[in-house]
Amino acid sequence: MTDQSVQIGGLTLKNPVLTASGCFGYGLEYDDFYDVAELGGICTKGLSLAPRLGNPPERICETPSGMLNAIGLANVGVEAFCTEKLPRLRERGVTVVANVFASSVEDFVALARRLDAETGVHAIELNVSCPNVKEGGIEFGKDPRMCARVTEAVRAATRLPVWVKMSPEAGDIAGVALACEAAGADAVTAINTIRGLTIDLERRKARLANRTGGLSGPALRPVALRIVWELSSKLRIPVIGIGGVSTARDAVEFLLAGASAVQVGTANFADPSAARKVADGLREYTTARGVAARDLIGGARQ
């Protein structure tokens, strides 16, 4: 077997395959299927300071080559995560990336401080696709200045690596990513979902209670791949690719485009073992060709 490890800033992952936030619970739910410590890492469901119930149903529906979701960021809250979930992940040796979201810089900082106080958290991923209520409600991730401010404040509040998750809806994604890099981000992850809509013809109403939802799955992959290509050519920090990764071949595509690792999201809903299968397939692909996983990174750009 060739070397599967990759370096994301100061953090070494045993392989380049993680699970994406919101698509793998808190990791423990998948215990019956496989040992999640075999993965490069897991990204937790987005954590907030207080627990949240999220939106009323319907919150998910299938669309061509993908799905729409409007979960509304339901989660147990950072405190319950630290006391009830994290100790079991730590025991199992899982590489844990804590995905967090907030509606003010101060709350992002409070989340980072709380997670920093624990052992067993390996990185913090900032979900900046949420409105900054203190500054007119514009999403952090759409504005380079606001995204840099939150990155810089979190960077100063923790010793953990800070990853910033790019919104594909930012007009100037490269501008946002470069601002985050300058503010001290250790990596960017790309991409979050794109808003979509689907209508039930019998009820003549939107299929989701929230009306719009985030589009994910294979339908998103070419868009994500294009953004990963663009960001990895402009940034010095690593880019982690997300969007429709369902098979090892999809993961290879992202690595060749310039991603240093990938996250598997929606594919977990169809097959709970999807991420492990992607990691297994990537190991077979690289081993058959006598190359290390890291040798693929940016290969299509040379």
Ligand X SMILES: Cc1cc2nc3c(=O)[nH]c(=O)nc-3n(C[C@H](O)[C@H](O)[C@H](O)COP(=O)(O)O)c2cc1C
Q: Smallest gap, in angstroms, from Cβ of residue 125 to ligand X? A: 7
- Relative orientation angle of helices 144-157 and 173-182, to the nearest 10 degrees: 30
What is the Cα–Cα distance from 291 to 284, expressed in whole angstroms?
Answer: 10
Residue among 85 and 165 whose Cβ is closer to ligand X: 165
Give residue 15's region: left, alpha or beta (phi > 0; psi -120 to 50): beta
What are the DSSP E strand ranges found in 177-280? 187-190, 194-197, 199-200, 205-206, 212-216, 239-242, 261-264
Look up 43 and say whether it is catalytic. no
Q: Smallest gap, in angstroms, from Cβ of residue 181 to ligand X? A: 19
Q: Smallest gap, in angstroms, from Cβ of residue 242 to ligand X? A: 4
Residue among 74 and 292 whose Cβ is closer to ligand X: 74
Considering 82, 130, 147, 180, which one is annotated as catalytic?
130
Cβ-closest position to ligand X:
22
Tell me the one-letter amino acid at 26.
Y
The H or E element containing residue 11 is strand 11-13
Q: Answer whether 148's CB lies under 8 Å from 156's CB.
A: no
Q: Smallest gap, in angstroms, from Cβ of residue 124 to ligand X? A: 12
Q: Please give the C-alpha separations between residue 48 and each of 75, 108, 111, 288, in angstroms, as whole numbers.
A: 7, 8, 7, 43
Residue-wise over 68-93: b if at least 16 C-beta within 10 A, else e? bbbbebebbebeebbeebbeebeeee
Residue among 101 and 285 whose Cβ is closer to ligand X: 101
Residue among 8 and 20 whose Cβ is closer to ligand X: 20
Residue among 59 and 292 whose Cβ is closer to ligand X: 59
Residue among 2 and 210 whose Cβ is closer to ligand X: 210
Q: Smallest gap, in angstroms, from Cβ of residue 141 to ligand X? A: 10
Q: Answer whether 178's CB lies under 8 Å from 235's CB.
A: yes
Q: Answer whether 226's CB lies under 8 Å from 170's CB.
A: no
Q: Smallest gap, in angstroms, from Cβ of residue 28 to ligand X? A: 16
Q: Which residues bind ligand X (CB under 6 A)?
A: 20-23, 45-46, 69, 71, 73, 99, 127, 165, 192-193, 216-217, 220, 242-245, 264-266
The H or E element containing residue 221 is helix 221-234
Tell me the one-letter amino acid at 122.
H
Strand partners, 146: none
Query: What positions carry a catalytic annotation?
Result: 130
